[in-house]
Structure 1
């Protein structure tokens, strides 16, 4: 685990309830469980206020990367700050900054791709989707 980084401003905080079963024998949340916590935060973030419907035929995860910075411990909850880190031609990177007690525990990125009407091929984001993504950018850090 490396040095913790500051929590960026912008984005949306999603509170996640931790379960006792999330812990491993070392007494902290298991590293594989972090992927599930990221997924839970991402789905809640995309579903709030009908946001997911903006992308019509859906989104898929094209890549996933996590930097584990500090252990998470079983407590009632932790928070994942969600926002956009990068917008590409056909993809965009979502940042997932998991923190507890004011300190970043993990910094994850998922590269997302919008699907075309066939449900398989990727497509370019529409101008409205691109504008929405731009409005969701986190102000610090790169994805």
Structure 2
């Protein structure tokens, strides 16, 4: 899954914690999902302006491609963009980069399928219109596959 980060506008820094490390001094593979979650949460707050009182979001699927290890003293950031919007679900791509004096190195890519969810009814619901439009407008119309 080679990603072109020039298609991404949204980027958030990620702090590496000592507890993220495995016995070999690398970020543990399970922690990458947490990094993706941090970046997605910031995107939903800053871009989609998700109204958590109206609806929630649950994860339906996650994929991770580990390309280069990340270690404690690396400076990293995560790019996020929505690549597909359906009726109740949408795909979010993530690209974790290591920031170096030479530029950014892609370390990990991933995709999550997110589902708009009503916790009180315990079921998926249509993505709220305002959030849908904000994601489409932000992530460059024409680049998102809109399948609703």
Q: Same fold (TM over 0.5)?
A: yes
Unmatched runs of 5 consecutive residues or more in structure 1: none
TM-score normalised by length of structure 1: 0.81
Secondary structure at the counterpart of residue 94 of structure 1:
strand
CA pair 116-25 structure 1, distance change in 2 beyond 3 A: closer
Supply the distance in 1 between the matched residues of 2:88 and 2:16 (Cα, whole angstroms): 34
> Could you tell me whether the CA contact under 8 Å between 1:28 and 1:74 is conserved in 2?
yes
What is aligned with 2:7? 9
What is aligned with 1:103? 105
Q: Which has the higher strand share?
A: 2
The number of aligned residues is: 140
What is aligned with 2:61? 63
TM-score normalised by length of structure 2: 0.78
Point out the more displaced range, 32-41 or 50-59: 50-59
CA pair 63-141 structure 1, distance change in 2 beyond 3 A: same
Deviations 1:18-44 (A, max 9, x none): 122322122211111111111122222
Q: CA deviation at 1:5?
A: 4.3
Secondary structure at the counterpart of residue 71 of structure 1:
coil
Secondary structure at the counterpart of residue 35 of structure 2:
helix
